[in-house]
Amino acid sequence: SSELTQDPAVSVALGQTVRITCQGDSLRVYYASWYQQKPGQAPILVIYGQNHRPSGIPDRFSGSNSGTTASLTIAGTQAEDEADYYCNSRDSSGNHVFGAGTKVTVL
């Protein structure tokens, strides 16, 4: 079982804000990174570190961290944001681990 817990699914109305959370004890020590994956495509990095976006990622994506919870927020959600989102960090042994993913549906 994953040491990072994500809600399986969330829905959001077009143009509204959605927050996806990732919980795990290791998040007290390490920042999470976040990946977007659309059907049939490889994952892409959307947020890393304290709250950094790679080049090309829209500024409607942001990240935050509090205690054992990391969050990915999409403000003004667009239809193209419909995807699976995975968090990643280190586990208790220092190795890498992914959350099980959150499916975001845009209504």
Residues at the contact surface with another protein, assessed by CB under 8 A: 2, 30-31, 33, 35, 37, 42-45, 48-49, 54, 84, 86, 88-90, 94-101
Q: How far is the CB of 16 from another protein (least distance, A)?
A: 25
Strand partners, 102: 85
100 touches 2 (CB < 8 A): yes
Based on CB atoms, which residue is closest to another protein, 4 or 106? 4
Q: What does the alpha-carbon distance between residue 73 and residue 47 come to, in Å, rounded to a whole number? A: 10
Residue number with CB closer to another protein (14 or 38):
38
Q: Which is nearer to another protein, 24 or 99 (CB)?
A: 99
| Integer Cα distance of 19 and 65 in angstroms | 12
